[in-house]
Amino acid sequence: MDPTRDKSSANGSHLRTILVADDDPVFRRLVEKRLQSWDYQVVLAEDGDEAWRILRQSQDAPDLIIMDWLMPGIDGLELCRRLRGMRKSFYQYILLISGNDEKHHVIQGLDAGADDYLTKPLNIGELQARLRAGNRILSLQHELIQAREDLRFQATHDSLTGLWSRGAALDLLNCELQRGLRTEAMTGLLMIDLDHFKSINDKHGHLAGDAVLKEVAGRINRAVRAYDFVGRYGGEEFVAILSSCSLADLYSVAQRACDAVRSSPVITDTASFAVTVSIGGAVKKSGSPDLELIASADSALYEAKRTGRNRFVIAPPNLSHPGHRLAVAHE
């Protein structure tokens, strides 16, 4: 959400962007000055064509609109119809202005998609009141959009670490494999396990354990490439999905993740912990079943833990089941 769209000013209005579309330059200028005095950010359009260009923007388009019915090019009525025909993720509130106050004229404007109707010459007090009504509707919309985004985030992310949830990470892995099938790219996978985590919980409590998990998750997330995905696979185990990943890329990211976690102690409110991770990695031709890739990486992770932890093991690219020989571990 754009924070400028719901920040209240001293006089109770909102710092919203408002479009004024009218072919009369004097009217535009007078309304602009009045709106700016009410703390609106004003965008001006001198005809319907210019207004349509502004409103078609997918981002930063004004959500509050004052438009004249009669304008060169696209008139206000047609502009309302076009705007309502667009599929946008947010609602735009339209105040239609006309010199005609006959009932059938008002009805025609509202049926075309206008939310409210004012006649010229404008009464300033009435204009401000109508805009306040529009602001209330838009504020409610923004709250609902934020609530929807919060729910969407909660459904796909781990509540403690903020990383992708296990289910979402597996979905992303499948998507990457399918995308790679079209582009003939390889997909890499790292299974990452926090070493001796149970002892932290047992000796210092779950709050300390949670703090360690959050910090380690952040270090891993910063160690991968900007376009990779990191999820919490379960407990103290994480997964990193590397798109368009060569074997060299996999080695490089695994090394950075190991180094990032052990680079400095994790300091909590109660203690300081020197933490390390064990990592198992695998890379596979995209389009292959995701369970095959997971099994390869999981087998490599087991080998990293068996051979001393605080290291990573990368499975050979042709590894298809745990019985194949693994690559040498790297500390």
Helix (H) or strand (E) holding 169: helix 166-183
**Residue whose entry in the numeric block shows the structure tokens 């298809």:** 320
Decide: 330 and 311 in contact? Cβ < 8 Å: yes
236 has catalytic annotation: yes
- Residue 244 Ramachandran class (φ > 0 left, ψ -120 to 50 alpha, else beta): left
Residue type, 265: P
Decide: 92 and 141 in contact? Cβ < 8 Å: no
- Between CA 257 and CA 278 the distance in angstroms is 10
The half-sphere exposure of 15 on its side-chain side, counting CA atoms within 13 A, is 8
- Between CA 173 and CA 121 the distance in angstroms is 61
Strand partners, 238: 192, 232
Cβ–Cβ contacts within 10 Å for residue 233, how many? 22
Three-class DSSP category at 50: helix
Point out the catalytic residue in the list 176, 215, 236, 303: 236
CA distances for 106 relative to 69, 118, 122, 199, angstroms? 11, 9, 15, 73
Residue type, 1: M
Helices 247-262 and 206-223 sit at what angle, rounded to 10 degrees?
140
**Residue whose entry in the numeric block shows the structure tokens 């703390």:** 39
What are the residue numbers of the active site?
236
